[in-house]
Amino acid sequence: MARIPYLTSDDLDIEERPLLDRPIHINRALANSPGALEANRFVGRWARDRSAVDPRVRELAIIGVGVLARNAYEYAHHVQLAEENGVSSRDIDDVQRHLADEETDLEPVVQAALDAAEQLTLDGRLDDACWMALEDALGRRAAVDLVVIVAYYNMVVRVLGALDVGLEYEWSDSLRTHPLREL
């Protein structure tokens, strides 16, 4: 049970109601602070629509953040989003295998993104070798964008945890098809 109520658009002032055009639980929780919800939506939309990171690489890196943070909400949402964007079931499962130092079929660009996600999530920084591999794989602009995306989703998983935001039932199929395992 969330620590704060999940608001609906009817709970908001008329000019704030468009902020809940996507009424998933995190947005409904953040609606308790419309300014925070607006800021969160801005960065999330930039990551999805305007960053230089390939959508497949982006979604696999975000799934990696969910795995590393042990956050079922973030993980399940992005497993489903990845599948909707053509990411294979094998690739999704390979994220967890890669993070557990097991063999995968992931190409080097995805491995570099996952290594960066792992270092940023666990250490809050990248070592020189990881940055060089990421920049070589993605190019400088996309590498910077990926760092911002991973940092943003680390903020998201912390907000989810702090507010105890629960996973919506309709998103739980992702956890049945791709269980979140211990690393």
Residue 130 placed within a domain:
yes
Rounded to 10 deg, the angle between the 55-68 and 89-99 helix axes is 50
> For the chain, how many structural domains are there in total?
2
pLDDT, tens digit, for every residue of 5-36? Answer: 999 999 999 999 999 999 999 999 999 999 99
Residues 64 and 109 in one domain: yes
Mean pLDDT of 147-167: 98
Residue 67 placed within a domain:
yes
Whether the per-residue pLDDT at 1 is higher than 80: the answer is no
pLDDT value at residue 176: 93
Residue 182 placed within a domain:
no
Residues 88 and 154 in one domain: yes
Residues 154 and 77 in one domain: yes
pLDDT value at residue 52: 98
pLDDT value at residue 85: 84
Residues 66 and 141 in one domain: yes
Which domain covers residue 105, as residue numbers?
54-177
Instruction: Give the pair of three-digit tokens for residue 92.
Output: 């999704």
Mean pLDDT of 133-144: 98
Residues 67 and 44 in one domain: no
pLDDT value at residue 99: 98
Residues 137 and 162 in one domain: yes
Mean pLDDT of 51-55: 97
pLDDT value at residue 23: 97
DSSP letters, the chain, are --SS----GGGS-GGGGGGGSS--HHHHHHTTSHHHHHHHHHHHHHHHHT-SS-HHHHHHHHHHHHHHTT-HHHHHHHHHHHHHTT--HHHHHHHHHHHTT------HHHHHHHHHHHHHHHHSS--HHHHHHHHHHH-HHHHHHHHHHHHHHHHHHHHHHHHTPPPPGGGTHHHHHS-----
Residues 150 and 89 in one domain: yes
Residue 106 placed within a domain:
yes
Mean pLDDT of 151-163: 98
pLDDT value at residue 70: 96
Residues 125 and 137 in one domain: yes
pLDDT, tens digit, for every residue of 72-124? Answer: 999 999 999 999 888 999 999 999 999 999 999 999 999 999 999 999 999 99
Residues 27 and 80 in one domain: no
Report d(CA 127, CA 138) in Å as an integer.
17
Residues 135 and 95 in one domain: yes
pLDDT, tens digit, for every residue of 159-183? Answer: 999 999 999 999 999 999 999 987 7
